Amino acid sequence: MKRIFSAILSCALCVPLFLPPARAASDPVVRVGLAYGASAQEASRLEAADGAGWTVGEMRGTSFVSRETLSCAVLTVEPDGTGLRLVDADAGRTVYETDADELALSALGRLTLFGQNRYEGDFVCRNTDGRVTVINYIGLEDYIKGVVPYEMTASWPREALKAQAVCVRSYADGQMGKHESQGFDLCASTHCETYRGTGRATANSDAAVEETKGEYLWYNGKKVVGYYFSSDGGATEDAANVWGGSLPYLTGVPDPYENTAEALNGTWSVALTAAQAAEKLRAAGHTIGTVASIQITGRTAMGNVAELTVTDTAGTKVKLTRAACRSVFGLNSIRYSVSGGTAAAAPAASNVVYVIGADGVKRQVALSGCSMLTSAGLKPVTTAAQTTDTSAAGDSFTFTGTGWGHSVGMSQYGAKAMAEQGFPYDRILQYYFTGIEVR
């Protein structure tokens, strides 16, 4: 749409009248990278959402220092030597130039359109080797309002959203400065947390943030990071079994609440030919010939996959452990079974039970619970024995599983189900994070 504005668009005005509203002093600022590295732009387009114009200046720490007011609505930020210039995108005229490699912009109406999204807060644009890096400076609580509805559906029960808000706040706090070498705190993708500004926020999702304002997860007197993921498919997992290290508040728990069948990508299968399996192993740095078998050779106490052994036709073995059991073959979770391509599909891991009959022979059965076994006079064998026999052979393999994500911390679908059953957000958090306090 053509916008009509005066030809002279840059005018220095009485700055204090146009300073953006002050942020609450207690709310720390998060610097979120929106375009950087490979996604830095040749030129960046920023639009003042209500057309009210801009103040341009610089950042001192996280405080905006105003230099000039610009009345145009749409700005293109372009590199200019080692400095930057601002072009009124409608008039095609340069309205501001600086030799500095960085400038700050603040929309007078507080809302900025950038890319497909709408953001509150200030913007910093930096000339990074002839491309424009764009960083959003946003108060922590507003940042959380811009994450919660992108990480969880905004119409879900309030208590689930509140649990999510505390996780987002705790995660942001614990990971602050993760991108310090690139000049900001957090990126806007799933690498950190998905942040897209105000577009999806609702009264429900905003209230979840406001009702938990300033609340974090604490363990042993220290703030801890609130990890979360979509669904666990039956049980979460110890961080030690996924990432290594020891974080006692991140201990796996069985999940009787989550409705995995309802969860997005909660049930899944992945089929790979032997050649595709070998290719993925080589891409992950392993040496392997023609894949002959893929076996689950270890499960955790929670029944998730702890070790996957791949054997080639020459007998060479590659063992995958922890997160590699999911990542190398591109699987949704660590809760699965594997079968050969020519064999009938095996039931999902959660339904696979081995029994020893009166004749002493071990047999695989598919049951939903162990009570049927004892009533039939059969004895379930140990988890370890279950797993070493899960084998596959042939020229293709099918992984069949439940859950989506890394399985450490809070299941989002589990939180939804607990909220639907009447659990308040702090009880939900205390279920998924062992021994924590919410305060």
The contact set with Zn ion (CB under 5 A) reads: 187, 191-192
Q: How far is the CB of 243 from Zn ion (least distance, A)?
A: 16
Distance of closest approach, residue 391 Cβ to Zn ion, in angstroms: 39
- What 3-state class would DSSP assign to 68? strand
In 3D space, the residue among 200, 225, 171, 204 whose CA is nearest the CA of residue 30 turns out to be 171
**Smallest distance from the beta carbon of 192 to Zn ion, in angstroms?**
3
Nearest-10 crossing angle of helices 425-432, 158-175: 50
Nearer to Zn ion, 175 or 434 (CB): 175
Q: What's the closest the beta carbon of residue 175 comes to Zn ion, in angstroms?
A: 8
Cβ closest to Zn ion, residue 196 vs residue 299:
196
Among residues 142 and 185, whose Cβ is nearest to Zn ion? Answer: 185
Q: Which of 161, 192 has the CB closer to Zn ion?
A: 192
Token digits of residue 229: 């993921």
- Cβ-based nearer residue to Zn ion, 188 or 305: 188
Residue 113 contacts residue 15 (beta carbons within 8 Å) = no
Q: Are 233 and 401 in contact (CB under 8 A)?
A: yes
Work out how close the CB of 201 gets to Zn ion at its nearest, in angstroms, rounded to a whole number. Answer: 21
Q: How far is CA 381 from the centre of its chain?
A: 37
Q: Which is nearer to Zn ion, 81 or 177 (CB)?
A: 177
For 362-425, strand residue ranges (E) read 362-366, 379-380, 396-402, 410-411
Q: Closest distance between Zn ion and the C-beta of residue 182, in Å?
A: 9
Kind plus residue range of the DSSP H or E element containing 25: none
Closest CA to 163 of 402, 407, 436: 436
CA torsion, points 215, 216, 217, 220, in degrees to nearest 10?
-100
